[in-house]
Structure 1
Amino acid sequence: MGRSASTQAKAPDVMSGAYRAVWRWHFYAGVLVMPFLMLLTLTGGLYLFKDEIDHAVYRSMIEVPASSQQANPDQWLAAAARAGEGRAANILIPARADQAVRVRVDQPDGAQRTVFVDPHTATVTGVTAYGGVTETIKKLHSLSLFGGLIGTALNILVEIVAGWAIILCATGLYLWWPRRRTGAVLKPSQSDASRRPFWRDVHALTGFYVGGVIIFLAVTGMPWSAVWGDQFMRVMRDTGLGRPPAPAAASPWSHAKPHDAPAGVGWTLENAVLPAHDHSHGHDPAAPSLNRVLQTAHERGLPRPFTVSIPQSSDLAWTVARQTRKAEDARSLYVDGVSGAVKADLRWSQFGVMAKGFEWGIAVHQGMQYGWVNRIVMLIGCIAVWLLAISGLVMWWKRRPPDLSRRRSGAPPPPPDPRARIVVLCIVIPLSILYPLTGLSLLAALLLDRAVRAFTGAKPVAAS
């Protein structure tokens, strides 16, 4: 009995250094990124219900009387351009006859508007800022609401936050691992709800059961980052494992300017455009026509809904992209707006391995790939982040030092032996290599840790 007690008493000492190091970094990671994670998961959770929010807010603009008659589609564009006071850049063709078409109008000053048009009468039913409420939610989610340097800096922050979210989950798993301890493993421990062990159990079990979803959201959110996402796209293009090769009948892909970037084609083909026709034999007698492009889409059997992107450059093909929920249903037509000739018809089977994984991850991230089950699982992940943040705050509050106001942060004490930080480095170094901005932020966090210890006068606590 005495020997057993002695073994149990020594077990925490053996791992106290590494445990304290991981615990300290878990604490600081939570303090640094949890507010941003809470914003990202709040907006992400709302964006899972994009269609429902859109319909609730803009019902009067979206719903139109169903009719078998249809106005000339080019009249839709003309009406939208007048109402939006700019150039029609793309148009969403809905799946149902009782819904308005949505036209994005680019104004001369760079602003954008969404104009709703009744397809049966070419009558404008409403005008909003581009994308309306859900576009604002989307920009908040990607931290790109502000333009210029501020917007770029905030967008870069997405990559840093995603990397640290993975570190949070990895260090949390290390802290949760039962070893020789008793307490919460796969079910709550028996404790008074007013005591800290209750909140520890809530925190640990939430992280254990939902941590995988949080890591998945963090990893698949990387395409939205300004640095890692761009580099990943470049590697896919250069290796041939992403964007399909340009068809033999067309010239190679060109990189579109922002105003000509196709909509709805997915991340793999964003900014990829094809020339429409050869101007070497003089000017074409006809002007590009939406009606002609829609006829081609119908003849090719492209199901609705889909988005038609209208290039500003007359020598570029119009892009018709199917709006899908499952990644494997993706399809894009590149159509000459004058003749209606198809320059390319791209389908899921033509994408490379990296591109397929890329697009699949985004579809699951947005809760679309597997229907309502997918959406609910992603929503649970968003709610879990808030529960982790609240329970972590409660635990810190309950264990805060009495002299908190006198330069005491209440952070876990530093380990007695600097070598104990090796465990932390084994967790963060691989992530820092994969996500360089996370590595740079780690260096900043190390400097912050030294500054905090110098400011508070904290000293390593010897193992007891």
Structure 2
Amino acid sequence: MPARAKAAPKGTSSIYRAVWRWHFYAGLLILPFMIMMAITGAAYIYRDEIDDWVYSDLKFVTEMDVPPLPMSTQIDAVRYFVGDTPVKIIPPASPDRSTEIVIATSGGDKRAVYVDPYTGLVLGSMPDRGTVMWLIRRIHSLAEFGTIPNYIIEIASGWSILLVATGMYLWWPQANQKGGVVTLRDTPKRRRWWRDAHAVTGIFIGLFIVFMAGTGMFWSVFWGKYANEFANGTPNGYPSGVRVDVPLSTVPMIEAFGDTGWTTENMPVPLSVDGGPLATGTTAAASTLPQTQTQTQTRIGIDTAIARFTELGIAPGYAISLPKGETGVYSASVYPNDLDQQRVIHLDQYSGRTLINMGYHDYGIFGRIMELGINIHMGQEFGVLNQIFLLVICALIVFMSVSAGVMWWKRRPAGSIGIPPLPRNARSMTIVAAILAIGGIIYPTVGASMIVIWLLDWLFVARPARAMRTA
């Protein structure tokens, strides 16, 4: 008999059924989250445009033909009306924008106060990170609902990579297959049209799903934390020199700024050493300072600090963290669309001396790759084209997820969840699980969830099904 006649249809092979079964479980687990992440992600791509529209009365002012007031005067205006301590300042990025001054209130929370830089008039305030788009960002990662739900997003991101891998196998065309590879068969009334729509859409955007899931993992609670520690434990992240050339505090950048680049978020903030306690020789760090170093208790003030940041060429739109205590520093950071302008600068609060001045090209190779991936993920790099492209990808992810649901609904037997049939050879399920376990090793939380899914399948589906066949 010819070999072609002996070959079993692809859909009946044990390996195919095992892959299909894992693909089904992956989809059942994460498709709702993929829809949620696609919708919130699509909105967050346009975060600046949306927030500028919603809060235009706070963020924009009438440009005047006079110089803006000194920042110290604007801070005094906020103190007069609010009476609390400023901790962070975002100078206007353009002449028609307001100054944002974040204050620490006596109640322990923080508020963002908006000031007209020409008149010193307080325009209003809101809770710090209280914008609509900040809420969308937190919903996108489920951080709004606590730490445990945030782990779910990490699991969903890892499973989406496995979903693409198994989906590509199921899509792979057979010899002489007509249609369903890059074209659609039948009409939307038939299940096969939805199968083809799901498969063809998935094959075109699969790599982008992997990219978005992979880069999104850098914000995850478990994997992101240890990936960051690994990257910055060597010069492959931020330069090792920033850890040894100047005395450092134990305060990480993310605590000082709240929102900073992934590579630098755990970078410790340096200490002011040209005045205050570190200039008196009372600490070990002071003994390492050059003898010619100026030791003065006079602080430079915010106006001089801003002049220094401008002189050093930092891009507009940067945020300034004010010194905390006698050893604190003036810290400025900016993470614009153009990675070449990404910058972190720390100034001694007494002398104004530059302690750290680091940009994107100072990162190690790992740090540069990760920052590029994150910038693309957030719709920043490549401008409007990046935003439009990601918006299309998000729309296709929603369509692909919906088509999967329709396809499943049309296929499932009445009164059943419609789990794909068990492979005839039980070893096939184990072989496929072992291959997928590679992803579980890379992403441990995904690996743990795979074990749970495998146990549930074995206890409540596979074992009872085999018992019925042998009864």
Shorter-chain TM-score above 0.5:
yes
Alignment of 1:217-236 (within 5 A): 217-236=212-231
State the Cα deviation string for residues 53-83 of structure 1 (Å, max 9, x = none).
1111001111111122221202333444565
2:269 is matched with: 273
State the Cα deviation string for residues 207-264 of structure 1 (Å, max 9, x = none).
0001111110000001111111111111122222111234599524433168852355
Q: How far off is 1:373 after superposition?
A: 1.7
State the Cα deviation string for residues 371-406 of structure 1 (Å, max 9, x = none).
12211222222222211211011111111212x1xx
1:458 is matched with: 465
1:46 corresponds to 2:37: no
The match for 1:97 among 88, 92, 95 is 95
Structure-2 change in CA distance of 1:415 and 1:460 (3 Å): farther
2:378 is matched with: 366
Mapped to 2, the partners of 1:235 and 1:258 lie a distance apart of 17
Structure-2 change in CA distance of 1:281 and 1:388 (3 Å): closer
Structure-2 change in CA distance of 1:34 and 1:313 (3 Å): farther
1:21 is matched with: 18
Mapped to 1, the partners of 2:166 and 2:316 lie a distance apart of 46
Q: Contact 2:332–2:344 at 8 Å: present in 1 too?
A: yes
Name which of structure 1's ranges 366-375 and 184-193 shifts more when overlaid on structure 2: 184-193
Structure-2 change in CA distance of 1:184 and 1:410 (3 Å): same
Structure-2 change in CA distance of 1:323 and 1:258 (3 Å): closer
Q: Contact 1:184–1:204 at 8 Å: present in 2 too?
A: no
1:168 corresponds to 2:163: yes
Match of 2:126, as an amino acid? Answer: T
Match of 1:55, as an amino acid? Answer: D
Q: How far off is 1:266 after superposition?
A: 1.1
1:157 corresponds to 2:152: yes
SS class of match (1:458): helix
Q: How far off is 1:181 after superposition?
A: 6.4
Q: Number of matched residues?
A: 450
Q: How far off is 1:171 after superposition?
A: 0.6
Mapped to 2, the partners of 1:41 and 1:84 lie a distance apart of 40
Mapped to 1, the partners of 2:242 and 2:20 lie a distance apart of 55
1:440 is matched with: 448
Q: Contact 1:20–1:412 at 8 Å: present in 2 too?
A: yes
1:65 is matched with: 62
Q: How far off is 1:344 after superposition?
A: 1.7
Mapped to 1, the partners of 2:165 and 2:243 lie a distance apart of 48
1:190 is matched with: 185
Unaligned runs of 5+ in 1: none
Structure-2 change in CA distance of 1:248 and 1:33 (3 Å): closer
2:418 is matched with: 410
State the Cα deviation string for residues 40-64 of structure 1 (Å, max 9, x = none).
2211111000011111100111111
Mapped to 2, the partners of 1:16 and 1:100 lie a distance apart of 65
The match for 2:349 among 334, 337, 342 is 337
Alignment of 1:279-428 (within 5 A): 279=276, 280-281=278-279, 284-287=296-299, 289-402=301-414, 404=415, 408-428=416-436
Mapped to 2, the partners of 1:246 and 1:254 lie a distance apart of 15
Mapped to 1, the partners of 2:451 and 2:243 lie a distance apart of 49
Q: Contact 1:259–1:312 at 8 Å: present in 2 too?
A: no
Mapped to 2, the partners of 1:255 and 1:429 lie a distance apart of 37
Aligned-pair identity in percent equals 31
2:292 is matched with: none
Name which of structure 1's ranges 226-235 and 86-95 shifts more when overlaid on structure 2: 86-95
SS class of match (1:221): helix
Q: TM-score of the superposition, structure 1-length normalised?
A: 0.89
Mapped to 2, the partners of 1:236 and 1:249 lie a distance apart of 17
Mapped to 2, the partners of 1:187 and 1:133 lie a distance apart of 39
Structure-2 change in CA distance of 1:260 and 1:276 (3 Å): farther
CA RMSD of aligned residues (A): 2.6
State the Cα deviation string for residues 272-323 of structure 1 (Å, max 9, x = none).
2011224345695434522111010122222312111124233122111134
Structure-2 change in CA distance of 1:412 and 1:259 (3 Å): closer
Mapped to 1, the partners of 2:164 and 2:446 lie a distance apart of 15
Name which of structure 1's ranges 219-228 and 248-257 shifts more when overlaid on structure 2: 248-257
Q: How far off is 1:186 after superposition?
A: 3.9
SS class of match (1:413): coil
Structure-2 change in CA distance of 1:159 and 1:281 (3 Å): closer
Match of 1:106, as an amino acid? Answer: A
Mapped to 1, the partners of 2:186 and 2:54 lie a distance apart of 46
SS class of match (1:145): helix
Name which of structure 1's ranges 321-330 and 213-222 shifts more when overlaid on structure 2: 321-330
Q: How far off is 1:155 after superposition?
A: 1.9
Q: TM-score of the superposition, structure 2-length normalised?
A: 0.88
Mapped to 2, the partners of 1:460 and 1:29 lie a distance apart of 25
State the Cα deviation string for residues 422-448 of structure 1 (Å, max 9, x = none).
452254121111111110110011122
Q: Contact 2:171–2:181 at 8 Å: present in 1 too?
A: no
Q: Contact 1:263–1:309 at 8 Å: present in 2 too?
A: no
Name which of structure 1's ranges 41-50 and 286-295 shifts more when overlaid on structure 2: 286-295
